[in-house]
Structure 1
Amino acid sequence: PLDADMMTEEPFGPVALLNRYAGEDAMIAEANRLPYGLAAYAWTSDPARRDRLAAEVEAGMLAINGGNVSFVDAPFGGVKWSGHGSEDGHEGVMACMVTKAVHEG
């Protein structure tokens, strides 16, 4: 049920919750309902649905047809209360850089 702790808190562990939804709009609304957005997972063979999920699901990382969202050459991070910014990948390295302009006249 939607009021279960697992449906309202951000779990840190291997958890798979399965629910049925009336349609794609309801599914996306449920995915975005909470103030958390670290990672999301979806399985579909429909390219249009894949593109819509990528555009509308509010998560820092989205895995489609797989369970891995972490790669060393890709940014790792969440949105909303699940974090700000990313680590790893080009985006993470740039956050640790100090840019300095030196000019000699």
Structure 2
Amino acid sequence: MTGIFQPHLYSRTQDFAAEFASSLDLLDKTILLPLYPAREKPIPGVSSEIIFDKMMIDAKVMAEKEEAMELIKNDSNEIILTMGAGDIDRMVPGITQLLENK
């Protein structure tokens, strides 16, 4: 299973980076998107990268949404899990179409 995760909020990412990383390590592959900030001002040093750096699996990549779609296109997994509270839901129609065309 490949997971695409879009962290939401600087404070939440800062507070739960280790827990997010541990959970994402359970996937076969993780695509980590940039943080979706919403309603908060940036916290210096807080980004998706702090989660990425704590992850232990080798099959992980940081990507912009457009890059993520290319990665999915070439992914061998038939299950793609999207996670996040930002605008990641807008990727679902494109992901669905990519999977149907495989």
> Normalization by structure 1: what TM-score?
0.34
Higher helix content, 1 or 2: 2
Higher strand content, 1 or 2: 2
Q: Which protein, 1 or 2, shows the higher relative CO under an 8 Å CA cutoff with sep ≥ 6?
A: 2
Larger Rg: 1
